[in-house]
Amino acid sequence: MTITQQQKNTASVFAILAGLISIPLTWMTIREPLLLSGLGNSLHLPIGQLNVTGVNGTITFLFKSPIWFIVGIAISANVIQLMQNSRQYAIPWFAGWVTSIFGVVWIGIGICVALFSDKATLGIGSLLGFFCAGVALFCVIVPTSTQEDPLPTITDAS
């Protein structure tokens, strides 16, 4: 399967928009959250649920990262795709790979934690964020068609 460069560019632009939109949205909702005190005691909060957004949430895998930072990496992976194909910038080939894999892994871990937790449910923000990271990785993996389809021309039939 090959796709044209125009299709990759269009997908990258929509992924960037999805990533930006995902940041203020709810990524997951945690029911009956526990608050751990410095002494190791857990306290039940009087609120029934806690909404985690891209602004106030973090994902911990190897180190603690804010969600907005991880989405920023996924957005930058799509920007790198656009910049590499413009022939105006000298971006190394591995930059797209590293940023795309980083975004997919970190966001995927956050989604898996919510999916396999009995106290958390996913929100639309996490799906949009994963779409942003997934498109970047898809564009890196799938080869680009070398023969571009020309735009249709209108000819005068008279």
Domain boundaries, the chain: 3-30+43-86+94-141
Q: DSSP code of 65?
A: E
CB atoms within 10 A of CB 126: 26
The answer to whether 94 and 113 are in contact (CB under 8 A) is no
CA neighbor of 114 nearest in space, from 24, 21, 26, 18: 26
- H-type alpha helices, 33-158: 67-84, 93-115, 124-141
The answer to whether 133 and 100 are in contact (CB under 8 A) is yes
pLDDT at 119: 82
pLDDT at 36: 60
Averaged pLDDT in 10-residue chunks for the chain of 158 residues:
86 96 92 64 64 86 89 95 84 90 93 86 93 95 71 58
pLDDT at 46: 62
pLDDT at 16: 96
pLDDT at 55: 92
CA neighbor of 54 nearest in space, from 23, 21, 17: 23
pLDDT at 151: 54
